Amino acid sequence: MLDADFFRRWMTVTAASVEREAERLTALDSPIGDADHGSNLQRGFTAVAATLEKEAPDTPGAVLTLAGRQLISTVGGASGPLYGTLLRRTGKALGDAGEVSEEQLAEALRAGVEAVMTLGGAAPGDKTMIDTLVPAVDALGTGFAAARTAAEQGALATTPLQARKGRASYLGERSIGHQDPGATSAALLIAALAEAAGE
């Protein structure tokens, strides 16, 4: 079973990973976005880690809800609301339970991904974070390591796609050949989940 400590660890590992990869995320964002994806997420997840250290919520749902709120209030651009919605909706779906199973986490994360799809209007194949999150959630039933692999493959698979949503969609065919930064950062989030689980 997964407790609040596990979810705090997930967010802390994510913050460290985003910090390490911020320059690469911004480099990916440079040709097809505003060249701020890495710095925006770095600011957001640093704030999440600091807040969780201070407040230490005692249920998995409360950890993710707080993290989501923090991202929405500190991250500019589209990524704050999208990641914030993902974590808040996942947290809400987990409810008030002190511990949750891997199956419950997979179900809750699916609800979170659906909320992001509704908010951003994106579907698989649109060259967004959804291309990473949908296969990751589908694979989560097999285990955290399987979800990480599916997420990484999903992010790589955005390279040949033409963007149909977000800032990159303004470029039309020129967005082809660039790996999507949002799909890449979403893969970091799922890899951090596997790392937090020791996989």
Q: How far apart, in whole angstroms, are the C-alpha atoms of residue 92 and residue 95?
A: 5
pLDDT at 167: 85
pTM of the model: 0.96
pLDDT for the residue numbered 178 = 95
- 71-117, pLDDT tens digit by residue? 999 997 889 999 999 999 999 999 999 999 999 999 999 999 999 99
pLDDT (average), residues 184-188 = 98
pLDDT at 198 over 90: yes
CA distances from 176 to 5, 79, 127, 133, 199 (A): 41, 21, 9, 20, 33
| Confidence grade of residue 46 (pLDDT, cut at 50, 70, 90) | very high
